[in-house]
Amino acid sequence: MNLHELELKSWDLRRDVVDIIMAGGGGHIGGDMSVLNTLLVLYKNHLRITPETTADPNRDRFVLSKGHAVEALYAVLADCGFLDLNDIKARFSKFGSPYIGHPNNKLNGIEMNSGSLGHGLPVCVGMALAGKMDKKDYRVYTVMGDGELAEGSVWEGAMAASNYKLDNLCAVVDRNRLQISGCTEDVMKQDSQEQRWAAFGWNVISVDGDSIEAMDAAFTAAKHHKGQPTVIIANTTKGYGSALMENKADWHHHLPNEEEYKQILADFAARKEVVQNG
Ligand SMILES: Cc1ncc(C[n+]2csc(CCOP(=O)(O)OP(=O)(O)O)c2C)c(N)n1
Ligand SMILES: [Mg+2]
Fold of 3-276: Rossmann fold (3.40.50)
Asked if the model's pLDDT at residue 253 lies above 90, the reply is: yes
Q: Cis ω on the peptide bond leading into residue 116 (within 30° of 0)?
A: no
What is the share, in percent, of the chain residues with pLDDT greater than 70? 100
pLDDT digits (tens, 9 = 90+) for 79-131: 999 999 999 999 999 999 999 999 999 999 999 999 999 999 999 999 999 99
Residue type, 182: G
* Substitution candidate for ligand 1 out of 114, 180, 186 with most atoms within 8 A of CB: 180
What pTM did the predictor assign? 0.98
Is residue 40 within 8 Å of 74, Cβ to Cβ? no
Query: Angle at Cα 76 formed by Cα 95 and Cα 6, nearest 5°?
Result: 155
User: Which band of pLDDT confidence, cut at 50, 70 and 90, is reported for residue 1?
Assistant: confident
- pLDDT value of position 121: 98
- For residue 134, CA distances in Å to 128, 138, 161, 239 come to 10, 10, 16, 41
**pLDDT for 164-214, tens place per residue?**
999 999 999 999 999 998 999 999 999 999 999 999 999 999 999 999 999
The rounded Å distance from CA 183 to ligand 2 centre is 8
Q: Which atom of ligand 1 has the smallest separation from the CA of 178? A: 19
- Cβ count near 190 (within 10 Å): 17
The span from the CA of 119 to the CA of 103, in Å, is: 13
270 CA to middle of ligand 2, Å? Answer: 26
Between the CA of 167 and the centroid of ligand 1 the distance, in Å, is 27
pLDDT at 278: 83
Cα–Cα distance for residue pair 156/1, rounded to 1 Å = 36
Ligand 1 closest atom vs CA 144: 15
Bridge partners of 172? 143, 232
pLDDT band at residue 157 using 50, 70 and 90 as cut-offs: very high
Closest residue by Cα to atom 10, ligand 1, is: 180
Q: Could you tell me the residue ranges of all domains in the chain? A: 3-276
pLDDT band at 268 (very low <50, low <70, confident <90, very high): very high
Quick one: pLDDT band at residue 68, thresholds 50, 70, 90?
very high
